[in-house]
Structure 1
Amino acid sequence: MESKAIQVLAWKATKDIVKYGEELPKRLPEAYKKFWNEWKVKEPTPVHWIPRAEKWIRNPEHGVVSLVQNVPIPVKYPKEHNQGLWGGEGIVKGFQKRNPNSRRIPHYWFPILKRSVVYSEILNKHIAVVVTDRTLSLIAENNGFDNYILKTPACDLKSDLALKIKRKLLLALLDKNFYPEDGKKREEVFNKYKSFMLPKEEADWYGLTYKEALAKLIRKEVEDNKPKPLKIQYRMELIERLKEKSLLPEEETSSWTSKLNPFSSKTVQPSA
Protein backbone atom coordinates (compact mmCIF):
# COMPACT_ATOMS: atom_id res chain seq x y z
CA MET A 1 0.00 0.00 0.00
CA GLU A 2 2.82 2.42 0.86
CA SER A 3 4.60 1.86 -2.46
CA LYS A 4 1.34 2.42 -4.34
CA ALA A 5 0.74 5.66 -2.45
CA ILE A 6 4.26 6.83 -3.31
CA GLN A 7 3.64 6.06 -7.00
CA VAL A 8 0.39 8.04 -6.96
CA LEU A 9 2.11 10.97 -5.25
CA ALA A 10 4.95 10.92 -7.78
CA TRP A 11 2.47 10.82 -10.67
CA LYS A 12 0.53 13.79 -9.29
CA ALA A 13 3.75 15.71 -8.74
CA THR A 14 5.01 15.21 -12.29
CA LYS A 15 1.62 15.76 -13.95
CA ASP A 16 2.06 19.51 -13.84
CA ILE A 17 5.81 20.02 -13.57
CA VAL A 18 5.56 23.77 -14.22
CA LYS A 19 4.46 24.48 -10.67
CA TYR A 20 7.81 23.29 -9.34
CA GLY A 21 9.62 26.11 -11.13
CA GLU A 22 13.37 25.65 -11.13
CA GLU A 23 13.83 24.02 -7.72
CA LEU A 24 13.08 20.38 -8.53
CA PRO A 25 15.46 20.02 -11.52
CA LYS A 26 18.24 21.57 -9.44
CA ARG A 27 17.95 18.69 -6.97
CA LEU A 28 18.67 16.07 -9.62
CA PRO A 29 21.88 14.21 -8.75
CA GLU A 30 25.17 14.74 -10.55
CA ALA A 31 24.89 11.24 -12.01
CA TYR A 32 21.84 12.24 -14.05
CA LYS A 33 23.37 15.59 -15.04
CA LYS A 34 26.38 13.68 -16.39
CA PHE A 35 24.09 11.48 -18.48
CA TRP A 36 22.15 14.55 -19.67
CA ASN A 37 25.35 16.18 -20.91
CA GLU A 38 26.25 13.03 -22.81
CA TRP A 39 22.73 12.82 -24.28
CA LYS A 40 21.74 16.41 -25.03
CA VAL A 41 24.87 18.58 -24.83
CA LYS A 42 27.59 16.48 -26.46
CA GLU A 43 27.93 16.94 -30.22
CA PRO A 44 26.70 13.80 -32.04
CA THR A 45 28.66 12.07 -34.77
CA PRO A 46 27.81 13.51 -38.22
CA VAL A 47 25.64 11.08 -40.17
CA HIS A 48 24.05 12.98 -43.05
CA TRP A 49 26.97 15.31 -43.80
CA ILE A 50 30.77 15.29 -43.83
CA PRO A 51 32.42 18.16 -41.92
CA ARG A 52 35.53 19.67 -43.45
CA ALA A 53 38.75 19.21 -41.48
CA GLU A 54 40.39 22.46 -42.63
CA LYS A 55 39.50 25.82 -41.08
CA TRP A 56 40.09 27.93 -44.16
CA ILE A 57 39.32 27.38 -47.85
CA ARG A 58 40.34 29.22 -51.01
CA ASN A 59 37.75 29.75 -53.72
CA PRO A 60 39.18 28.32 -56.98
CA GLU A 61 37.38 30.91 -59.13
CA HIS A 62 38.49 34.20 -57.58
CA GLY A 63 41.06 33.05 -55.01
CA VAL A 64 39.37 34.60 -51.99
CA VAL A 65 40.12 32.81 -48.70
CA SER A 66 37.17 32.32 -46.38
CA LEU A 67 36.44 30.61 -43.10
CA VAL A 68 34.93 27.11 -43.39
CA GLN A 69 31.39 26.98 -42.03
CA ASN A 70 30.65 23.49 -40.69
CA VAL A 71 26.90 23.80 -40.33
CA PRO A 72 25.08 20.50 -39.61
CA ILE A 73 22.17 19.52 -41.83
CA PRO A 74 18.87 19.82 -39.91
CA VAL A 75 17.52 16.35 -39.18
CA LYS A 76 14.03 15.49 -37.91
CA TYR A 77 13.50 12.60 -35.50
CA PRO A 78 9.83 11.58 -35.27
CA LYS A 79 8.48 9.91 -32.17
CA GLU A 80 8.56 6.54 -33.99
CA HIS A 81 12.36 6.56 -33.87
CA ASN A 82 12.19 6.05 -30.09
CA GLN A 83 10.80 2.56 -30.73
CA GLY A 84 13.70 1.43 -32.93
CA LEU A 85 17.45 1.63 -33.51
CA TRP A 86 18.05 3.96 -36.42
CA GLY A 87 21.81 4.35 -35.95
CA GLY A 88 21.62 8.16 -35.87
CA GLU A 89 19.66 8.42 -39.13
CA GLY A 90 16.61 10.65 -39.36
CA ILE A 91 14.41 12.51 -41.81
CA VAL A 92 16.15 15.17 -43.88
CA LYS A 93 14.20 18.00 -45.45
CA GLY A 94 15.61 19.83 -48.45
CA PHE A 95 15.00 20.77 -52.04
CA GLN A 96 15.28 18.75 -55.21
CA LYS A 97 15.55 19.97 -58.80
CA ARG A 98 14.25 17.18 -60.96
CA ASN A 99 14.43 19.13 -64.21
CA PRO A 100 17.14 21.65 -65.20
CA ASN A 101 14.51 23.98 -66.59
CA SER A 102 12.10 23.81 -63.64
CA ARG A 103 12.10 25.34 -60.19
CA ARG A 104 13.36 23.29 -57.27
CA ILE A 105 10.71 21.72 -55.05
CA PRO A 106 10.71 20.64 -51.37
CA HIS A 107 11.68 17.03 -50.77
CA TYR A 108 12.04 14.68 -47.79
CA TRP A 109 14.61 11.91 -47.55
CA PHE A 110 13.53 9.07 -45.26
CA PRO A 111 15.77 6.35 -43.82
CA ILE A 112 15.14 2.85 -45.10
CA LEU A 113 13.72 0.92 -42.17
CA LYS A 114 13.61 -2.84 -41.80
CA ARG A 115 12.63 -5.23 -39.05
CA SER A 116 15.49 -7.39 -37.84
CA VAL A 117 16.55 -9.49 -34.86
CA VAL A 118 19.60 -8.67 -32.74
CA TYR A 119 21.17 -10.79 -30.02
CA SER A 120 22.34 -9.53 -26.64
CA GLU A 121 25.02 -11.75 -25.14
CA ILE A 122 24.72 -10.19 -21.68
CA LEU A 123 20.94 -10.56 -21.49
CA ASN A 124 21.05 -13.82 -23.47
CA LYS A 125 18.03 -12.66 -25.49
CA HIS A 126 17.05 -12.11 -29.11
CA ILE A 127 15.36 -8.74 -29.63
CA ALA A 128 13.08 -7.98 -32.59
CA VAL A 129 13.55 -4.34 -33.49
CA VAL A 130 13.28 -1.87 -36.38
CA VAL A 131 16.75 -0.93 -37.67
CA THR A 132 18.50 0.72 -40.59
CA ASP A 133 21.37 -0.57 -42.72
CA ARG A 134 23.68 1.78 -40.84
CA THR A 135 22.67 0.20 -37.51
CA LEU A 136 23.51 -3.27 -38.82
CA SER A 137 26.84 -1.99 -40.16
CA LEU A 138 27.70 -0.43 -36.78
CA ILE A 139 26.82 -3.66 -34.96
CA ALA A 140 29.13 -5.57 -37.31
CA GLU A 141 31.94 -3.00 -36.92
CA ASN A 142 31.73 -3.28 -33.13
CA ASN A 143 31.74 -7.09 -33.16
CA GLY A 144 28.31 -7.55 -31.67
CA PHE A 145 25.19 -5.81 -30.45
CA ASP A 146 26.28 -5.37 -26.82
CA ASN A 147 29.59 -3.81 -27.84
CA TYR A 148 27.76 -1.38 -30.13
CA ILE A 149 25.29 -0.30 -27.45
CA LEU A 150 27.88 0.02 -24.66
CA LYS A 151 30.49 1.83 -26.77
CA THR A 152 28.15 4.32 -28.41
CA PRO A 153 27.44 7.54 -26.44
CA ALA A 154 23.87 8.53 -25.70
CA CYS A 155 23.91 11.40 -28.22
CA ASP A 156 24.46 8.88 -31.03
CA LEU A 157 22.06 6.21 -29.75
CA LYS A 158 19.33 8.88 -29.49
CA SER A 159 16.27 6.63 -29.19
CA ASP A 160 14.58 5.81 -25.87
CA LEU A 161 14.71 2.10 -26.70
CA ALA A 162 18.49 2.14 -27.23
CA LEU A 163 19.05 4.05 -23.99
CA LYS A 164 16.77 1.69 -22.02
CA ILE A 165 18.69 -1.31 -23.39
CA LYS A 166 22.01 0.29 -22.46
CA ARG A 167 20.77 1.01 -18.94
CA LYS A 168 19.65 -2.60 -18.59
CA LEU A 169 23.05 -3.86 -19.75
CA LEU A 170 24.91 -1.58 -17.31
CA LEU A 171 22.75 -2.69 -14.37
CA ALA A 172 23.14 -6.34 -15.37
CA LEU A 173 26.93 -5.97 -15.29
CA LEU A 174 26.73 -4.42 -11.81
CA ASP A 175 24.35 -7.02 -10.42
CA LYS A 176 26.05 -9.85 -12.32
CA ASN A 177 22.72 -11.66 -12.50
CA PHE A 178 23.02 -13.11 -16.01
CA TYR A 179 23.51 -16.83 -16.77
CA PRO A 180 22.44 -17.89 -13.24
CA GLU A 181 22.84 -21.59 -14.04
CA ASP A 182 26.20 -21.34 -15.81
CA GLY A 183 28.90 -19.75 -13.65
CA LYS A 184 31.66 -20.31 -16.20
CA LYS A 185 29.73 -18.54 -18.96
CA ARG A 186 28.80 -15.74 -16.56
CA GLU A 187 32.44 -15.07 -15.72
CA GLU A 188 33.40 -15.21 -19.39
CA VAL A 189 30.76 -12.67 -20.41
CA PHE A 190 31.47 -10.45 -17.39
CA ASN A 191 35.20 -10.30 -18.13
CA LYS A 192 34.42 -9.48 -21.76
CA TYR A 193 32.30 -6.40 -20.94
CA LYS A 194 33.46 -5.30 -17.47
CA SER A 195 35.46 -2.39 -18.93
CA PHE A 196 32.13 -0.65 -19.71
CA MET A 197 30.91 -0.72 -16.10
CA LEU A 198 29.80 2.51 -14.45
CA PRO A 199 29.42 3.33 -10.74
CA LYS A 200 26.13 2.15 -9.24
CA GLU A 201 24.54 5.59 -9.01
CA GLU A 202 25.49 6.56 -12.58
CA ALA A 203 24.11 3.31 -14.00
CA ASP A 204 20.92 3.71 -11.97
CA TRP A 205 20.21 7.16 -13.43
CA TYR A 206 21.48 6.40 -16.94
CA GLY A 207 18.97 6.30 -19.79
CA LEU A 208 16.08 7.97 -17.97
CA THR A 209 14.05 10.62 -19.74
CA TYR A 210 13.60 14.01 -18.08
CA LYS A 211 10.14 13.13 -16.70
CA GLU A 212 11.32 9.70 -15.54
CA ALA A 213 14.25 11.30 -13.70
CA LEU A 214 11.96 13.81 -11.96
CA ALA A 215 9.54 11.04 -10.97
CA LYS A 216 12.44 8.97 -9.59
CA LEU A 217 13.71 11.97 -7.63
CA ILE A 218 10.26 12.61 -6.12
CA ARG A 219 9.84 8.96 -5.12
CA LYS A 220 13.27 9.02 -3.48
CA GLU A 221 12.55 12.22 -1.57
CA VAL A 222 9.15 10.94 -0.42
CA GLU A 223 10.73 7.68 0.73
CA ASP A 224 13.53 9.49 2.59
CA ASN A 225 11.12 11.89 4.30
CA LYS A 226 8.62 9.30 5.48
CA PRO A 227 7.89 9.71 9.22
CA LYS A 228 9.68 7.17 11.37
CA PRO A 229 8.07 5.55 14.43
CA LEU A 230 9.01 7.24 17.70
CA LYS A 231 10.07 3.93 19.20
CA ILE A 232 12.99 3.87 16.76
CA GLN A 233 13.99 7.38 17.78
CA TYR A 234 13.74 6.56 21.49
CA ARG A 235 15.66 3.34 21.02
CA MET A 236 18.54 5.22 19.34
CA GLU A 237 18.54 7.86 22.08
CA LEU A 238 18.67 5.15 24.73
CA ILE A 239 21.60 3.46 22.98
CA GLU A 240 23.47 6.77 22.86
CA ARG A 241 22.83 7.35 26.56
CA LEU A 242 24.07 3.86 27.37
CA LYS A 243 27.23 4.51 25.37
CA GLU A 244 27.82 7.74 27.30
CA LYS A 245 27.32 6.00 30.66
CA SER A 246 29.79 3.31 29.68
CA LEU A 247 32.52 5.88 30.28
CA LEU A 248 31.72 5.88 34.05
CA PRO A 249 33.45 3.54 36.56
CA GLU A 250 32.60 -0.11 36.07
CA GLU A 251 30.51 -0.57 39.22
CA GLU A 252 28.43 2.53 38.54
CA THR A 253 27.92 1.56 34.90
CA SER A 254 26.71 -1.94 35.68
CA SER A 255 24.32 -0.66 38.35
CA TRP A 256 22.86 2.10 36.15
CA THR A 257 22.48 0.05 32.94
CA SER A 258 20.94 -2.92 34.72
CA LYS A 259 18.05 -0.74 35.85
CA LEU A 260 17.34 0.28 32.25
CA ASN A 261 18.02 -3.03 30.53
CA PRO A 262 15.38 -5.62 31.49
CA PHE A 263 17.28 -8.30 29.56
CA SER A 264 20.41 -8.01 31.58
CA SER A 265 21.63 -11.25 33.16
CA LYS A 266 22.52 -9.40 36.36
CA THR A 267 19.80 -7.44 38.07
CA VAL A 268 20.21 -5.16 41.02
CA GLN A 269 18.27 -6.14 44.06
CA PRO A 270 16.24 -3.34 45.59
CA SER A 271 17.68 -2.02 48.83
CA ALA A 272 15.87 -2.84 52.07
Structure 2
Amino acid sequence: MTSLAKNLKSLTPNVRRAVITWDKAERIRRNEEIFKNSESVVHRLPEHYKRRYWEVILSDKEPVHYRPPMSRTAYDYFKNVEVELEENPILGIRTPEGDQGLWGGERVVKGWIESAPYTKKKFCQAVVYSEILDKYIKVTVTERAMRLIDENFGLDYYVLESQEIDLDSKFANSLKREMLLTLSTESYYENDDEKKAYIKEKYAKYVIPEEEAEWVGLDLNEAARKQQDLEDSISPVPLKYSLEKSLLERLRNGTDEISQETENQEVPVRMESKFGDKMFGKYLNPIGRKLRNATS
Protein backbone atom coordinates (compact mmCIF):
# COMPACT_ATOMS: atom_id res chain seq x y z
CA MET A 1 0.00 0.00 0.00
CA THR A 2 2.87 2.37 0.72
CA SER A 3 4.39 1.96 -2.72
CA LEU A 4 0.96 2.37 -4.33
CA ALA A 5 0.36 5.64 -2.48
CA LYS A 6 3.67 7.03 -3.73
CA ASN A 7 2.74 6.36 -7.34
CA LEU A 8 -0.71 7.97 -7.09
CA LYS A 9 -1.06 11.22 -8.93
CA SER A 10 -3.54 14.03 -8.40
CA LEU A 11 -6.40 14.01 -10.86
CA THR A 12 -6.56 17.81 -10.89
CA PRO A 13 -2.94 19.02 -10.95
CA ASN A 14 -3.68 21.96 -13.28
CA VAL A 15 -6.55 23.54 -11.35
CA ARG A 16 -5.44 27.01 -10.36
CA ARG A 17 -6.30 28.55 -7.05
CA ALA A 18 -9.02 31.15 -6.89
CA VAL A 19 -7.40 34.57 -6.87
CA ILE A 20 -9.03 37.65 -5.35
CA THR A 21 -7.29 40.76 -6.56
CA TRP A 22 -6.99 43.88 -4.47
CA ASP A 23 -9.35 45.62 -6.91
CA LYS A 24 -12.07 43.00 -6.39
CA ALA A 25 -11.50 42.95 -2.62
CA GLU A 26 -11.83 46.73 -2.51
CA ARG A 27 -15.07 46.61 -4.52
CA ILE A 28 -16.55 44.05 -2.13
CA ARG A 29 -15.46 45.98 0.98
CA ARG A 30 -16.76 49.32 -0.30
CA ASN A 31 -20.15 47.91 -1.31
CA GLU A 32 -20.44 46.00 1.95
CA GLU A 33 -20.08 49.26 3.86
CA ILE A 34 -22.73 50.91 1.68
CA PHE A 35 -25.26 48.10 2.10
CA LYS A 36 -24.72 47.94 5.87
CA ASN A 37 -26.65 51.18 6.27
CA SER A 38 -30.24 49.98 6.68
CA GLU A 39 -31.64 53.46 5.94
CA SER A 40 -29.80 53.86 2.64
CA VAL A 41 -31.70 54.13 -0.64
CA VAL A 42 -29.81 51.10 -1.98
CA HIS A 43 -32.10 48.82 0.05
CA ARG A 44 -35.12 50.18 -1.82
CA LEU A 45 -33.67 49.38 -5.24
CA PRO A 46 -35.39 46.64 -7.26
CA GLU A 47 -34.36 43.11 -6.37
CA HIS A 48 -33.40 42.27 -9.95
CA TYR A 49 -30.99 45.21 -10.03
CA LYS A 50 -29.37 44.28 -6.72
CA ARG A 51 -28.96 40.68 -7.87
CA ARG A 52 -27.39 41.73 -11.16
CA TYR A 53 -25.22 44.34 -9.46
CA TRP A 54 -23.72 41.86 -6.99
CA GLU A 55 -23.13 39.34 -9.77
CA VAL A 56 -20.97 41.98 -11.47
CA ILE A 57 -19.15 42.85 -8.23
CA LEU A 58 -18.33 39.21 -7.46
CA SER A 59 -17.33 38.29 -11.00
CA ASP A 60 -13.80 38.45 -12.39
CA LYS A 61 -12.89 40.67 -15.27
CA GLU A 62 -11.69 38.92 -18.41
CA PRO A 63 -7.88 39.13 -18.76
CA VAL A 64 -6.93 41.87 -21.20
CA HIS A 65 -3.42 43.16 -20.53
CA TYR A 66 -1.90 39.88 -19.34
CA ARG A 67 -2.05 36.14 -19.89
CA PRO A 68 -3.01 34.06 -16.84
CA PRO A 69 -1.07 30.85 -16.22
CA MET A 70 -2.63 27.79 -17.79
CA SER A 71 -1.61 25.41 -14.99
CA ARG A 72 -1.20 25.59 -11.25
CA THR A 73 2.44 24.51 -11.09
CA ALA A 74 5.50 24.63 -13.34
CA TYR A 75 8.98 23.21 -13.19
CA ASP A 76 11.82 25.62 -12.51
CA TYR A 77 14.79 24.19 -14.35
CA PHE A 78 17.17 26.74 -12.82
CA LYS A 79 16.33 25.77 -9.22
CA ASN A 80 15.43 22.21 -10.21
CA VAL A 81 12.17 22.35 -8.22
CA GLU A 82 8.47 22.51 -8.93
CA VAL A 83 6.99 25.92 -8.11
CA GLU A 84 3.41 27.10 -7.80
CA LEU A 85 2.43 29.74 -10.30
CA GLU A 86 0.68 32.93 -9.25
CA GLU A 87 -1.79 34.99 -11.18
CA ASN A 88 -0.84 38.64 -11.04
CA PRO A 89 -3.35 40.60 -13.11
CA ILE A 90 -2.36 43.92 -14.58
CA LEU A 91 -5.03 46.42 -13.59
CA GLY A 92 -5.26 49.53 -15.73
CA ILE A 93 -6.36 53.04 -14.88
CA ARG A 94 -9.91 54.03 -15.80
CA THR A 95 -10.07 57.44 -17.42
CA PRO A 96 -13.08 59.68 -18.22
CA GLU A 97 -12.31 59.28 -21.93
CA GLY A 98 -12.71 55.53 -21.55
CA ASP A 99 -16.42 55.97 -20.75
CA GLN A 100 -17.05 57.62 -24.13
CA GLY A 101 -16.06 54.78 -26.42
CA LEU A 102 -15.76 51.04 -26.99
CA TRP A 103 -12.47 49.97 -25.46
CA GLY A 104 -13.05 46.23 -25.29
CA GLY A 105 -12.09 46.15 -21.61
CA GLU A 106 -8.75 47.89 -22.19
CA ARG A 107 -7.50 50.60 -19.87
CA VAL A 108 -4.51 52.87 -19.55
CA VAL A 109 -1.59 50.84 -18.20
CA LYS A 110 0.98 52.80 -16.26
CA GLY A 111 4.65 51.85 -16.21
CA TRP A 112 4.77 49.88 -19.47
CA ILE A 113 6.48 50.84 -22.72
CA GLU A 114 4.21 50.93 -25.75
CA SER A 115 5.42 48.96 -28.74
CA ALA A 116 5.82 51.04 -31.90
CA PRO A 117 4.05 54.13 -30.50
CA TYR A 118 4.39 56.21 -33.71
CA THR A 119 3.63 53.57 -36.32
CA LYS A 120 0.85 51.50 -34.77
CA LYS A 121 -2.37 53.10 -33.58
CA LYS A 122 -4.09 51.47 -30.60
CA PHE A 123 -7.45 53.16 -31.13
CA CYS A 124 -9.27 55.07 -33.82
CA GLN A 125 -12.58 56.62 -34.82
CA ALA A 126 -14.87 54.10 -36.48
CA VAL A 127 -18.47 53.87 -37.65
CA VAL A 128 -20.30 50.79 -36.36
CA TYR A 129 -23.79 49.60 -37.20
CA SER A 130 -26.43 48.33 -34.78
CA GLU A 131 -28.96 46.01 -36.37
CA ILE A 132 -31.37 46.27 -33.45
CA LEU A 133 -31.34 50.05 -33.27
CA ASP A 134 -31.01 50.36 -37.05
CA LYS A 135 -28.50 53.19 -36.93
CA TYR A 136 -24.84 53.91 -37.55
CA ILE A 137 -22.74 55.09 -34.62
CA LYS A 138 -19.46 56.98 -34.85
CA VAL A 139 -17.40 56.14 -31.80
CA THR A 140 -13.85 55.73 -30.56
CA VAL A 141 -12.85 52.06 -30.60
CA THR A 142 -9.70 50.08 -29.88
CA GLU A 143 -8.22 47.33 -31.98
CA ARG A 144 -9.37 44.76 -29.44
CA ALA A 145 -12.95 46.09 -29.51
CA MET A 146 -13.02 45.86 -33.32
CA ARG A 147 -11.64 42.34 -33.13
CA LEU A 148 -14.29 41.32 -30.60
CA ILE A 149 -17.03 42.83 -32.77
CA ASP A 150 -15.82 40.76 -35.71
CA GLU A 151 -15.55 37.60 -33.59
CA ASN A 152 -19.14 38.05 -32.36
CA PHE A 153 -20.44 38.73 -35.89
CA GLY A 154 -21.58 42.27 -35.23
CA LEU A 155 -21.91 45.04 -32.68
CA ASP A 156 -25.21 43.81 -31.25
CA TYR A 157 -23.96 40.32 -30.39
CA TYR A 158 -20.74 41.71 -28.90
CA VAL A 159 -22.56 44.15 -26.61
CA LEU A 160 -25.32 41.71 -25.58
CA GLU A 161 -22.95 38.79 -24.96
CA SER A 162 -20.44 40.79 -22.88
CA GLN A 163 -20.90 41.40 -19.17
CA GLU A 164 -21.05 44.94 -17.83
CA ILE A 165 -17.70 44.53 -16.08
CA ASP A 166 -16.04 43.51 -19.36
CA LEU A 167 -17.62 46.33 -21.39
CA ASP A 168 -16.14 48.69 -18.76
CA SER A 169 -17.61 51.80 -20.37
CA LYS A 170 -20.64 53.94 -19.64
CA PHE A 171 -21.24 54.38 -23.36
CA ALA A 172 -21.16 50.61 -23.97
CA ASN A 173 -23.44 49.90 -21.00
CA SER A 174 -25.91 52.58 -22.08
CA LEU A 175 -25.86 51.07 -25.57
CA LYS A 176 -26.64 47.66 -24.08
CA ARG A 177 -29.51 49.13 -22.04
CA GLU A 178 -30.95 50.80 -25.14
CA MET A 179 -30.75 47.54 -27.10
CA LEU A 180 -32.48 45.56 -24.35
CA LEU A 181 -35.22 48.18 -24.03
CA THR A 182 -35.77 48.11 -27.78
CA LEU A 183 -36.02 44.32 -27.75
CA SER A 184 -38.38 44.24 -24.75
CA THR A 185 -40.76 46.84 -26.21
CA GLU A 186 -40.38 45.53 -29.81
CA SER A 187 -40.03 49.11 -31.02
CA TYR A 188 -37.95 48.25 -34.07
CA TYR A 189 -38.75 48.19 -37.79
CA GLU A 190 -42.35 49.28 -37.33
CA ASN A 191 -42.88 49.60 -41.08
CA ASP A 192 -41.21 46.32 -42.07
CA ASP A 193 -42.98 43.25 -40.72
CA GLU A 194 -40.55 40.80 -42.31
CA LYS A 195 -37.49 42.50 -40.79
CA LYS A 196 -39.28 42.83 -37.46
CA ALA A 197 -39.99 39.08 -37.33
CA TYR A 198 -36.38 38.36 -38.29
CA ILE A 199 -34.94 40.52 -35.48
CA LYS A 200 -37.41 39.11 -32.96
CA GLU A 201 -36.39 35.53 -33.74
CA LYS A 202 -32.66 36.28 -33.99
CA TYR A 203 -32.34 38.02 -30.60
CA ALA A 204 -35.11 36.16 -28.74
CA LYS A 205 -32.82 34.81 -26.02
CA TYR A 206 -31.78 38.31 -24.94
CA VAL A 207 -35.32 39.59 -24.31
CA ILE A 208 -35.99 40.52 -20.67
CA PRO A 209 -38.88 42.45 -19.07
CA GLU A 210 -38.90 46.18 -19.68
CA GLU A 211 -38.80 47.02 -15.97
CA GLU A 212 -35.51 45.11 -15.74
CA ALA A 213 -34.01 46.37 -19.00
CA GLU A 214 -34.20 50.02 -17.95
CA TRP A 215 -31.87 49.30 -14.99
CA VAL A 216 -29.17 47.40 -16.90
CA GLY A 217 -25.77 49.07 -16.99
CA LEU A 218 -26.46 51.67 -14.30
CA ASP A 219 -23.82 52.07 -11.63
CA LEU A 220 -24.87 52.33 -8.00
CA ASN A 221 -24.96 56.13 -7.94
CA GLU A 222 -27.08 56.32 -11.09
CA ALA A 223 -29.44 53.61 -9.82
CA ALA A 224 -29.85 55.32 -6.43
CA ARG A 225 -30.56 58.64 -8.16
CA LYS A 226 -33.11 56.96 -10.43
CA GLN A 227 -34.82 55.32 -7.45
CA GLN A 228 -34.90 58.63 -5.56
CA ASP A 229 -36.42 60.41 -8.56
CA LEU A 230 -39.11 57.74 -8.86
CA GLU A 231 -40.00 58.10 -5.19
CA ASP A 232 -40.08 61.91 -5.41
CA SER A 233 -42.33 61.82 -8.48
CA ILE A 234 -45.05 60.02 -6.53
CA SER A 235 -47.00 62.59 -4.49
CA PRO A 236 -47.78 61.35 -0.97
CA VAL A 237 -51.44 60.65 -0.14
CA PRO A 238 -52.60 61.66 3.37
CA LEU A 239 -53.43 58.69 5.54
CA LYS A 240 -56.85 60.07 6.49
CA TYR A 241 -58.07 59.72 2.89
CA SER A 242 -57.23 56.04 2.70
CA LEU A 243 -58.74 55.40 6.14
CA GLU A 244 -61.91 57.29 5.17
CA LYS A 245 -62.22 55.31 1.93
CA SER A 246 -61.69 52.03 3.74
CA LEU A 247 -64.32 52.91 6.36
CA LEU A 248 -66.89 53.88 3.73
CA GLU A 249 -66.37 50.59 1.88
CA ARG A 250 -66.80 48.59 5.08
CA LEU A 251 -69.96 50.49 5.99
CA ARG A 252 -71.34 50.07 2.46
CA ASN A 253 -70.65 46.33 2.51
CA GLY A 254 -71.78 45.91 6.11
CA THR A 255 -68.48 44.40 7.17
CA ASP A 256 -67.50 47.00 9.74
CA GLU A 257 -67.02 45.16 13.02
CA ILE A 258 -67.26 48.24 15.24
CA SER A 259 -70.64 49.35 13.83
CA GLN A 260 -72.01 45.80 14.12
CA GLU A 261 -70.93 45.60 17.74
CA THR A 262 -72.61 48.94 18.46
CA GLU A 263 -75.89 47.84 16.84
CA ASN A 264 -75.97 44.49 18.60
CA GLN A 265 -74.99 45.87 21.95
CA GLU A 266 -77.84 46.14 24.50
CA VAL A 267 -78.58 49.43 26.21
CA PRO A 268 -76.94 49.27 29.62
CA VAL A 269 -79.22 49.57 32.64
CA ARG A 270 -78.38 52.56 34.75
CA MET A 271 -77.47 51.54 38.27
CA GLU A 272 -77.84 54.16 40.95
CA SER A 273 -75.91 54.01 44.16
CA LYS A 274 -77.94 53.90 47.40
CA PHE A 275 -75.02 55.02 49.52
CA GLY A 276 -75.60 58.69 48.80
CA ASP A 277 -79.34 58.45 49.65
CA LYS A 278 -78.60 56.86 52.98
CA MET A 279 -75.99 59.41 53.98
CA PHE A 280 -77.33 62.69 52.51
CA GLY A 281 -80.84 61.84 51.37
CA LYS A 282 -82.64 63.56 54.23
CA TYR A 283 -80.84 66.83 53.41
CA LEU A 284 -80.67 66.78 49.61
CA ASN A 285 -84.03 65.23 48.69
CA PRO A 286 -86.17 68.12 50.09
CA ILE A 287 -84.00 70.66 48.25
CA GLY A 288 -84.31 68.69 44.99
CA ARG A 289 -88.09 68.56 45.31
CA LYS A 290 -88.28 72.34 45.88
CA LEU A 291 -86.16 72.98 42.79
CA ARG A 292 -88.27 70.71 40.61
CA ASN A 293 -91.47 72.34 41.82
CA ALA A 294 -90.02 75.82 41.15
CA THR A 295 -89.01 74.98 37.62
CA SER A 296 -92.30 73.33 36.81
Q: TM-score, normalised by structure 2?
A: 0.65
- TM-aligned CA deviation for residue 240 of structure 1: 4.5
Match of 1:179 among 181, 189, 192: 189
Matched positions, count: 216
Larger Rg: 2
1:112 aligns with 2:112: no
> What corresponds to 1:159 in structure 2?
169
- TM-aligned CA deviation for residue 117 of structure 1: 0.7
> What corresponds to 2:100 in structure 1?
83
> What corresponds to 2:23 in structure 1?
none
What letter corresponds to residue 156 of structure 1 in structure 2?
D
Contact preservation (8 Å) 1:91, 1:111: no
CA-based RMSD of the aligned residues comes to: 2.8
> What corresponds to 2:86 in structure 1?
69
Give per-residue Cα distances to partners, 1:100-156, cap 9 Å, x unaligned.
xxxxxxx9xx97110011111111111110001111111111111111110011111
- TM-aligned CA deviation for residue 229 of structure 1: 9.3
> What corresponds to 1:135 in structure 2?
145
Tell which deviates more after alignment, 214-223 or 124-133.
214-223
The whole-number CA distance in structure 2 between the counterparts of 1:157 and 1:65 is: 37
Contact preservation (8 Å) 1:38, 1:155: no
> What corresponds to 2:178 in structure 1?
168
How does 1:162-241 map onto structure 2 within 5 Å? 162-224=172-234, 226-227=236-237, 234-235=244-245, 237-241=247-251
Contact preservation (8 Å) 1:58, 1:66: yes
> What corresponds to 2:76 in structure 1?
59
The whole-number CA distance in structure 2 between the counterparts of 1:65 and 1:90 is: 34
What letter corresponds to residue 183 of structure 1 in structure 2?
D
Higher relative contact order (CA 8 A, sep 6+): 1
The whole-number CA distance in structure 2 between the counterparts of 1:159 and 1:240 is: 55
The 3 A distance-change label for structure 1 pair 22 and 111 is farther
Contact preservation (8 Å) 1:116, 1:130: yes
What letter corresponds to residue 132 of structure 1 in structure 2?
T
The whole-number CA distance in structure 2 between the counterparts of 1:179 and 1:235 is: 47
Q: TM-score, normalised by structure 1?
A: 0.71
Give the share of equivalent positions with the same residue, in percent: 34
> What corresponds to 1:43 in structure 2?
60
Contact preservation (8 Å) 2:177, 2:217: yes
The whole-number CA distance in structure 2 between the counterparts of 1:205 and 1:213 is: 7
> What corresponds to 2:285 in structure 1?
none
The whole-number CA distance in structure 1 between the counterparts of 2:224 and 2:129 is: 32
Contact preservation (8 Å) 1:149, 1:166: yes
